[in-house]
Amino acid sequence: MLEWRRRREPSAAMLYASPLIAVALTMLIGVAVFTAMGYPGAQAVRDIFLTPFLEPQRWPDLGVKAAPLVMIALGLAIGFRANVWNIGAEGQYIVGAIAGTGVALATHGMTGWWILPAMAFAGILGGMAFAAVPAFLRVRLGVSEILTSLMLTYVAVQGLYYLVRGPWKDPDGFNFPQTRLFGADQTLPVLAEGSLVHLGIPLALAIALVAWLVLEKTTAGYAVKVVGLAPQAARHGGFRADGVTWACLLAGGGLAGLAGLFEAAGPFGQLTPQFPSGYGFTAIIVAFLGRLHPLGIVFGGLALAATYVGGEIAQTTVKLPQAATGLFQALLLFVLLATDVLVTYRIGWKARAA
Amino acid sequence: MTAPPRLALAGISKSFPGVKANEDISLSVRPGEIHALLGENGAGKSTLVKIIYGVQQADAGAIAWDGETVAIPSPRAARRLGIGMVFQHFSLFDAMSVIENIALGLDEAVDLAELKVRVAAILQSYSLPLDPDRAVHTLSVGERQRIEIVRCLLQKPKLLIMDEPTSVLTPQEVERLFSTLRQIASEGCAILYISHKLHEIKALCEAATILRGGKVVATCDPKIESAKRMAELMIGAELRQIARRPGGGAGAIRLQVENLTLAGEPPFGTALRAVSLAARAGEILGVAGVAGNGQSELLTALSGERLAGSGAAILLDGRPIGLEGAGARRALGLACVPEERNGHAAVPDFALADNALLTARHRLPLAPLGIIARGEVERFTQAVIRRFDVRTTGPGALARSLSGGNLQKFVMGREIGQEPAVLVVSQPTWGVDAGAAAAIRQELVDLAAKGSAVVVISQDLDELLELADRLCVINEGGLSAPRDVAGLRIDEIGLMMGGMRGVDAQAGGAAHA
């Protein structure tokens, strides 16, 4: 008989191996499920997980999808480390985009180098402000930020619908529910001619580096880890858990807001009802797949970006429904949480009872 | 011919790494007897009870049940024999009703309606006031305890173990509990009653086994034996009086606490009631007391983890710091070491270097401008490891990989290495082997000799008598006036710790009953 045996110490090797095992298992299960449903399962899984990496013409798209995921996941991971569970990054992402778009609409027809930074600034503030609500409720009233941040996502979505169908509707847009298109100085500069590769990609990498430095080298990052691992020791060491909660939610909200603004001022170039793409939720998977480590999150972001890009490929090649992308993402998180058991337990043979 | 004892232990021994928790313990309990298991914290009471209840297995020795030798591999097996246990801290679901909680605690699945009838019968026959349909979170602590008792009674126990049942009860609830226990005993059930409260044991029990340092030091009849004698047995009559260190004590007041009052933290916290103390440069002030009388509250109030109501309630070298946080207090020179090493004084999942950073960064330049100076941290950690002889692989070792004694040496070294003006430490040698304990005590004495004030909160009287110049007792959140250790008799302290203030009470003993 097989049995689980508790390890004396958590396995460092398994900590890094478990995400890889999870990806491999997800692919295997994916093959089985889609074969059972009558699709060519092996090809579907190859198109979703491997083709985006193997075909160089897919790489720009991969980067464009990975950038917001990485940005949001970095903010979330900082919070998760401190036991602050911001599940509503999607809402903060939307509000960030709305705030930045507000600046873009207010500066409609104007030119100047300052417009885009102002939009980015507004995006960060918008995300922060939206994350401040759960932070306030948790610190002052002890309300779980899991619930409040999640529920506020739907408030943000409805706010977006109202704006694009109401006050912000493009006057020249034939009554379509969308805002004006952003002008040249309101759009992220494209880095590679003819692609959507924008400034957000190098910026996401830079933010990952900064996040890593902050977590590893500063007392602020230290505070986050202590509060998460041993709240009582944190108090003893003179750290304020409330302050850390605020900082984590504001950082998460700010980064999600910035990602939202970049998405609006980059690939979208305007706001439409299709804007909420679920990046805020997918980023949760990215954060865990990357072991809440800033550099791991870069890889996690690429893996999840592949499911978006590959999902589109599989739609055309094997006629997989679009929902397959979400299915794979959910499956990945599910399997990852399961394989994490291996970090603290190992599998051994049970000696037969005498 | 007399009936065999309900429970007879013979030569029970149990060791954990570094400690002999139980050594050759024998005791027997007759049916219908209320038997006290008496001892200070750390005397081995809980280990012994865990062995009886099947939570842990003895290394050696035999358990006889109604005259037959038995093995008790699990709590379930214990319950099948007829052993019931009421723990000090209850395992109840707040959001569920009384009857649901009872059903969840039973080994077999039962019909709720039928269970209700059985519970009602028990409540009736023991005249216990308890509404089976109330949600647990609306109940008082005493009522919650009744749920646990009913849970046990449903199994028709032949032996009931009560682990410090009165530590969370009001005096009225204690009275009611005692009459319930007497009734249970009168029906032939044996009761093993664990406590260190002498007056309770005198009022309730017919026999007492006194443990000290994991060994049985005496068996007596508490109705006849005086409280004074039992206190001596519990604390250790063979205790040697330590020769006082010369000098010391006459310096200026470094830490002064004035009328500090602080509500207890729910659910089991003890409120601090108008605590005043003064610790002088060069002296060690001891705070004795039985666990749970406000020691940890006093420590967190001094460390700044909880703020005093006013700044002037705590003065450090004359400066009001009652409203300063933990970091600011440490920067000013007040260092504290809490009793719990894992998760409070240190983070088990952090390396020693990171643990050094936790509290040393306020007084030492380990993280100037918020940037961690790794080199400095390593150097300081290495210095602590060397000076305090911490057995470890180095500053990178995880705190959890160290033995309790080594981690304690590290934590003490971390604070003493910062040369604080005042050091407050709770249980400095808890679970530490004798050699390390001696080293830690020596460091405390040396620190005081250099002009710091040291406050030692401990339940170990030997330790306090060895270390302290003056001694006070904390009891139910209040602190007694300090007495010079030189003129103090052990039995006086013992009685104060047991809740019987003053020596006059010793003859009566039943004053509280």
In the prediction, which pLDDT does B457 show?
94
Domain spanning B7-235, CATH class:
alpha beta
In the prediction, which pLDDT does A273 show?
94
Alpha-helix residue ranges (DSSP H) falling in A37-58 = 41-49, 51-54
User: Exposed, middle or buried by CB within 10 Å (0-12, 13-18, 19+), for A80?
Assistant: buried
Contact A334, A25 (CB under 8 A): no
In the prediction, which pLDDT does A300 show?
94
In the prediction, which pLDDT does B240 show?
39
| CATH code for position A11 | 1.10.3470
Best of A227, A236, A239 to mutate (most B CBs within 10 Å, chain B):
A236
Whether the per-residue pLDDT at B267 is higher than 80: the answer is: no
Q: Does B361 touch chain A (CB under 8 A)?
A: yes
- Neighbour-count burial for A19-44, b at 16+ CB within 10 Å, e otherwise: bebbbebbbebbbebbeeeebbbebb
Residue A84 lies inside a defined structural domain of this protein: yes
Whether the per-residue pLDDT at B231 is higher than 80: the answer is: no
Neighbours of A147 (CB within 10 A): 14
Q: With an 8 Å Cβ cutoff, are A237 and B325 in contact?
A: no
Neighbours of B417 (CB within 10 A): 20
In the prediction, which pLDDT does A79 show?
95
Residues 6 or more apart whose Cβ sits within 8 Å of residue B301:
B260, B262, B272, B308, B314
DSSP character string of A216-248? HHBHHHHHHHHHHH-HHHHHHTT--HHHHHHHH
Residue A354 lies inside a defined structural domain of this protein: no
Q: With an 8 Å Cβ cutoff, are B358 and A233 in contact?
A: yes
Q: Does B326 touch chain A (CB under 8 A)?
A: yes
In the prediction, which pLDDT does B195 show?
81
Could you tell me the fold of the domain covering B253-481? Rossmann fold (3.40.50)
Whether the per-residue pLDDT at B341 is higher than 50: the answer is: yes
- Neighbour-count burial for A171-181, b at 16+ CB within 10 Å, e otherwise: eeeeeebbbbe
Vertex A34 angle, CA A32 and A35, to 5°:
65
Least CB–CB distance from B349: residue in A219, A229, A235:
A229
Find the residue in B nearest to A213 (Cα). B371
How far apart, in Å, are the Cα atoms of B228 and each of B202, B225, B461, B503? 12, 8, 15, 9
Q: Does B350 touch chain A (CB under 8 A)?
A: yes
Q: Which helix (H) or strand (E) holds B255?
A: strand B253-262
pLDDT top residue among B385 and B198: B385
* Dist. CA B212–CA B235, nearest whole Å: 7
Model confidence pLDDT, tens digit, residues B482-509: 888 887 776 677 666 655 444 333 333 3
Whether the per-residue pLDDT at B95 is higher than 60: the answer is: yes
Best of B302, B307, B350, B407 to mutate (most A CBs within 10 Å, chain A):
B350
How far apart, in Å, are the Cα atoms of B399 and each of A57, A155, B297, B349, B396? 49, 45, 25, 6, 9
Residue A52 lies inside a defined structural domain of this protein: yes
Find the residue in A nearest to B398 (Cα). A9
In the prediction, which pLDDT does A299 show?
94
Q: Which of A128-137, B169-178, B231-240, B369-378 is the least confident region? A: B231-240
* Dist. CA B473–CA B504, nearest whole Å: 17
Bridge-based pairing state of the strands B284-288 and B470-475? parallel
Whether the per-residue pLDDT at B41 is higher than 70: the answer is: no
* Dist. CA B465–CA B480, nearest whole Å: 16
Contact A78, A241 (CB under 8 A): no
Contact B163, B85 (CB under 8 A): yes
User: How confident is the prediction for chain B on average, in pLDDT?
Assistant: 85
Write phi, then psi, for B96 (nearest 5 degrees). Answer: -105, 165
In the prediction, which pLDDT does B509 show?
37
CA A191 to chain centre: 22
In the prediction, which pLDDT does B168 show?
60
Enumerate residues 188 to 247 of chain B having a beta carbon within 8 A of any beta carbon in chain A.
Answer: none
* Dist. CA B506–CA B503, nearest whole Å: 6
Q: Does B362 touch chain A (CB under 8 A)?
A: yes
- In chain B, where are the structural domains located? 7-235, 253-481
Q: With an 8 Å Cβ cutoff, are A236 and B305 in contact?
A: yes
Mean pLDDT of B312-335: 94
User: Coil, helix or strand for B434?
Assistant: helix
* Dist. CA B395–CA B380, nearest whole Å: 9
DSSP character string of B13-70? EEEETTEEEEEEEEEEE-TT-EEEEE--TTSSHHHHHHHHTTSS--SEEEEEETTEEE
Least CB–CB distance from A230: residue in B303, B328, B347:
B347
* Dist. CA B39–CA A339, nearest whole Å: 47
* Dist. CA B151–CA B454, nearest whole Å: 47
Contact B49, B13 (CB under 8 A): no
The token pair that represents A70 in the structure block? 């990485």
Q: With an 8 Å Cβ cutoff, are B336 and A230 in contact?
A: no
Model confidence pLDDT, tens digit, residues B152-193: 888 889 999 998 887 666 666 778 889 999 999 999 999 999
In the prediction, which pLDDT does B434 show?
58
* Dist. CA A95–CA A47, nearest whole Å: 34
Q: Which of A231-240, B30-39, B284-293, B321-330 is the least confident region? A: B284-293
Residue A101 lies inside a defined structural domain of this protein: yes
B253-481 shares the fold of B7-235: yes
Confidence of residue B268 (pLDDT cuts 50, 70, 90): low
Residue A107 lies inside a defined structural domain of this protein: yes
Q: What is the pTM assigned to this prediction?
A: 0.73
What is the tally of structural domains in chain A? Answer: 1
The token pair that represents B246 in the structure block? 């010369």
Nearest to B191 by CA among B2, B37, B4: B37
Boundaries of domain holding A189:
2-349
> What angle, rounded to 10 degrees, do the helices at A59-81 and A219-229 form?
70
User: Exposed, middle or buried by CB within 10 Å (0-12, 13-18, 19+), for A348?
Assistant: exposed
Q: Does B357 touch chain A (CB under 8 A)?
A: yes
pLDDT top residue among B263 and B170: B263
Write phi, then psi, for B117 (nearest 5 degrees). Answer: -65, -45
The CA-to-CA distance between both ends of chain A, in Å, stands at: 14
In the prediction, which pLDDT does B393 show?
87
- From first to last of its 354 residues, what are the pLDDT tens digits of chain A? 777 877 767 778 888 888 899 999 999 999 999 899 888 989 999 999 999 999 998 999 999 999 999 999 999 999 999 999 999 999 999 999 999 999 999 998 889 999 999 999 999 999 999 999 999 999 999 999 999 999 999 999 999 999 999 999 998 888 899 999 999 899 998 887 777 788 889 999 999 999 999 999 999 999 999 999 999 999 999 999 999 999 999 999 999 999 999 999 988 999 999 999 899 999 999 999 999 999 999 999 999 999 999 999 998 898 888 888 888 889 998 999 888 888 878 887 765 543
The token pair that represents A305 in the structure block? 């970006």
User: Exposed, middle or buried by CB within 10 Å (0-12, 13-18, 19+), for A254?
Assistant: buried
Contact B410, B352 (CB under 8 A): yes
ipTM of the complex: 0.83
